[in-house]
Amino acid sequence: MIPAGLSLEQAPPIDVPLRFFLTAPWFLVLAAALMAWQGPAIFVSRWLPATLALTHLLVLGFMAQVMLGALLQMLPVVVGVVVPRPRLTATLVHLPLTLGALALAVAFLSGVPVWFQAAWWSLGLGFGVALTAIHLALWRAPVIGGTVIALRCALAALLVAVVLGLLLGGFFGWGWRLPVVTVTHLHAAWGLIGWTALLVVGVAYQVVPMFQITPPYPAWFVRGFAPLMAALLVAWTGFAFGGLAMAATLTSAALAGGVALFALTTLHLLGQRRRKIGDPTLVYWRASMVSLLIGAALWSLGLGIPALGRLPQFELLLGILPIFGFAVAVINGMLYKIVPFLAWFHLQALLFQRAKVPTMKQLLPDAAIRRQFWAYLAALLTLLAAAVHPAVFTYPAALAAGVTGAWLGFNLAGVWRIYRRTLRQANP
């Protein structure tokens, strides 16, 4: 029997998710170029316009790009629901998101309101379409497991992060009146903890046991973690707007503890994997979880010692660890699972029993994955060093970030090249 509610339509065409995945790495290169152009001044404070431009090239151009593309791809595969009109939806998300990320970077760098207005409309459209399409699919999911619960929490958090971001965009673009510092803190927390971390959590439930051959996450964790974190974020938001400083501090300490718990649980599971020689993406997961853990520890430290928490270098580290450490590492590793699988799967579907299909390892050799990791690690470490000693480390960090981004981009484009060549050879 086919389970009730399971759609019989096909998985989305390969270009639907791939356009996101092939675009994203070049935003890392763009971010690196911005660092090289601005020089050490970019690491003076997280609040500088150029630093905000850099941050949004990473979180919108790279992170949101891949995360939304992966959701559009994942929902049919993991949850069994189909996103309506996949090609049109993908275009209406990918194009405005890409242009909006660029416009927002230009807006911060130039300070011209019309660029903020352009970014506002563009990002509003892209995220609006993505949220609508993915929400519709997720609430129709035939199976409600831990992953669907976590994805729903992540999607709700994305909605909050986007609304707060649009409010801030209104402040810069049209001069709306709002408590900018509080809204910025909440925007970052909903974006990084609510949307990014909870999406990674929901995906990790599936892919860590699947690809790294580990035991599953504990059942209580799978059911309860994401809703608890979402509830803490709601409480924190209330306390922050209500001016209850002590309660807000305690809630953020609980959030930091929750994030650390996820990192520790995942590292523990990775240590229990059944294969001696780990999957080539194992190092990306480890680097990601270690960054998350250190980020959570520093965050707690800053809450306990407010004078430390207010240091510009400290604030920069608290941005680099979750963004370039946690999120970029895990996304980089996941891209190496998703893109070759997509190419392999679509080739199988198109050429089944007519032509030989390259294996996933032929589409993307393990060695390429392992080598790029060293470039990534160099970029992460020099970035962290640049936050503390910008004069010495900004240019090495820019170089390493550019290399790792371009290397990722070429590796993924290589899969696409083999895909096209295999199809051409089979259909002369």
Partner 1 sequence: MSEPDTSEILVDGRGLAPPEPMEQVLAALGQLKPGQRVRFLIHRQPYPLYDILRRYRYRYETVAVADGSYEILISGP
Name which of 32 and 222 has its Cβ closer to partner 1.
222
Name which of 341 and 374 has its Cβ closer to partner 1.
341
Min dist. Cβ of residue 170 to partner 1 (A): 41
Name which of 144 and 349 has its Cβ closer to partner 1.
349
Beta carbons within 10 angstroms of residue 237's beta carbon? 20
Min dist. Cβ of residue 352 to partner 1 (A): 6
Name which of 281 and 300 has its Cβ closer to partner 1.
281
Interface residues toward partner 1, by CB under 8 A: 1-3, 6, 8, 10-11, 76-78, 80, 143, 210-211, 213, 279, 341, 344-345, 348-349, 352-353, 359-360
Q: Which letter, b or e, does each residue of 58-72 get, where b requires 16 or more Cβ atoms within 10 Å of its Cβ?
A: bbbbbbbbbbbbbbb
Min dist. Cβ of residue 131 to partner 1 (A): 23
Name which of 177 and 274 has its Cβ closer to partner 1.
274
Min dist. Cβ of residue 349 to partner 1 (A): 5
What one-letter code names the amino acid at 321?
A: L
Name which of 80 and 128 has its Cβ closer to partner 1.
80
Min dist. Cβ of residue 270 to partner 1 (A): 14
Min dist. Cβ of residue 416 to partner 1 (A): 18
